[in-house]
Amino acid sequence: MLIILAGLLAGVVSGFFKLGWEILLPPRNEARNETNPPQRMLQQMGFSKEFTHKYYEYSGEKVQYVSLIMHFGFSITFGLLYVWLITLFPVVGIWQGIIYGMFIWVLFHLIIMPITHTVPSISKQPFEEHFSEFLGHVFWGYIINMCYIYVYLMIK
């Protein structure tokens, strides 16, 4: 139960962090973000553009909730995975989650998504995208680790 609590907290908190990070250092320009990677991935899996671009309005702004579900689903999944892995193999926590964040960035942004054509090849992505995503994942991994530590310290 502790693993689930720590993983959920880590996923939600790190997901909020990553949203804020992408406001400060947007990884893609407006044209490339018209259909963002989570939306593109869903479309590659057969979901319609109408579905992947569903939104609600808040304060006169469109909030694309399918993207948010994917965003938080990703963070929660990999937050849970981190907490589970670190309890089995403490070496996973090297550099307080920073290595984990770097690994996830390499795995998804440099390998999986370019291979599946969800995003352009590495050489066709602008430096700003690599910079934002790399640093964002470094801090994202660190925050996941801090949430893990917080939950475990609060229980003891």
Residues 6+ apart with CB under 8 A from 74: 15, 38
Q: Which of residues 108 and 1 earns the better pLDDT score?
A: 108
pLDDT at 33 over 90: no
Q: Which of residues 33 and 141 earns the better pLDDT score?
A: 141
Task: Report CA-CA distances (Å) from 81 to 72, 89, 101, 107, 110.
Answer: 14, 12, 12, 15, 20
The band of 153, judged by pLDDT with boundaries at 50, 70 and 90, is confident
Distance from C-alpha of 135 to C-alpha of 132, rounded to nearest angstrom: 5
| Domain map (residue ranges) of the chain | 2-155
pLDDT tens column, 42-51:
999 999 999 9
Q: Is the pTM of this model over 0.75?
A: yes
Distance from C-alpha of 44 to C-alpha of 114, rounded to nearest angstrom: 13
pLDDT tens column, 66-119:
999 999 999 999 999 999 999 999 999 999 999 999 999 999 999 999 999 999
Contact, 24 vs 96, CB < 8 A? no
Distance from C-alpha of 105 to C-alpha of 137, rounded to nearest angstrom: 6
According to the model, what pLDDT value does residue 115 have?
97
